[in-house]
Amino acid sequence: MTNELINTIFSRRSIRKYTAEPVGEQDIKTLLEAAMAAPSASNRKPWHFVVVTDRKKLDALADSHPYGKMLFEAPLCIAVCGDPTISQRFWVQDCSAATENLLLAAVALDLGAVWLGAYPSDERVAAIRKVLGVPNNIVPLNLISMGHPAEQKEPRTQYDEERVHREKW
Ligand SMILES: Cc1cc2nc3c(=O)[nH]c(=O)nc-3n(C[C@H](O)[C@H](O)[C@H](O)COP(=O)(O)O)c2cc1C
C-alpha cells in the first residue's frame, strides 16, 4: 500500500515515551484543526479541547489517571471534552472521531501520542474536571498524552478476515 494517508493510518501506534522537546504552537494548532475537521452528527461539533503544557498540571493529570503515568514525561496533553447539551445522543462518537483525527495528525507531524480513556469512568472524569477546572456540564472523554517520540513501533493493519462479513453475517 503506497498511499500516504493509508500509511499514516497504519503507522499510528500508542506512543508512551517522549523526549523533553516541547511541541511547537504551530503543531498544536494543526492538531486542533485536524480534530475539528472530523465528522459530527448534524455537524453539531459538541467538542472542546483543553491544551495543557504546564508541568505542574501535566503531573496532576498523571496523578489523576491510573493508566496515564506517561504524562509525567509528556510535554503536552490535550483533553478532549464533550458537551452533551449540544448533542445528547452522539457526543461520544463525535468526540471520538475528533480524537482519531488528532492522533493521525500527530503521526503526520512526527509526534507520538496515546489515547487515555476517561469517560465513562466517573472517578477519572471527576479527577480530570478538578485538575483542569472543567465545568460539570462538560465531560472529559479522554486525555491525549503527546510529545516527540522516544520509542518506535512498527506500522501494522491488524486486519482480521474473521471480522469481515459479506452481504450477510
Ligand atoms: C478508549 C481507549 C482508551 C484507552 N486508554 C488507555 C489508557 O488509559 N492508557 C494507555 O496507556 N493506553 C490506552 N489506550 C490505548 C490502547 O491501549 C491502544 O490503542 C491499544 O493497545 C492498541 O495499540 P496501538 O494504539 O499501538 O494500535 C486506550 C485506547 C482507547 C481507544
Q: What is the rounded CA–CA span in Å between residue 8 and residue 90?
A: 27
- Ligand 1 pocket: which residues have CB below 6 Å? 13-14, 16, 67-68, 114-117
Confidence of residue 132 (pLDDT cuts 50, 70, 90): very high
State the CB neighbour count (10 A cutoff) for residue 32. 18
Ligand 1 mutation target, pool 12, 14, 102, 152, most atoms within 8 A of CB: 14
Coil/strand/helix, residue 112: strand
pLDDT for 88 equals 98
Task: Flag whether pLDDT at 1 surpasses 70.
Answer: no
- Given a contact cutoff of 8 angstroms between Cβ atoms, the answer to whether 148 and 112 are in contact is yes
Q: What is the 3-state secondary structure (H, E, C) of 7-42?
A: HHHHHCCECCCECCCCCCHHHHHHHHHHHHCCCCHH
Q: What is the pLDDT of residue 145?
A: 99
38-92: pLDDT as tens digits? 999 999 999 999 999 999 999 999 999 999 999 999 999 999 999 999 999 999 9
Does the structure show a pLDDT above 90 at 162?
Answer: yes
Determine the residue of 69, 77, 115 to mutate for testing ligand 1's pocket, defined as the one with the most ligand atoms within 8 A of the Cβ atom. 115
* pLDDT of 116 higher than 70: yes
Rounded to two decimals, what is the model's pTM?
Answer: 0.98
Taking CA atoms only, the protein residue closest to ligand 1 atom 8 is 116
- Check whether the bond before 120 is cis (ω within 30° of 0): yes
Residue 112 alpha carbon to ligand 1 centre in Å: 13
pLDDT at 21: 98
Question: Is 107:8 a contact under the CB 8 Å cutoff?
Answer: yes
110 three-class SS: coil
Distance CA 152, CA 19 (A): 12
Spatial contact of 79 and 143, defined as CB atoms under 8 Å apart: yes
Instruction: Return d(Cα 96, Cα 10) in angstroms, integer.
Output: 18
pLDDT of residue 159: 98
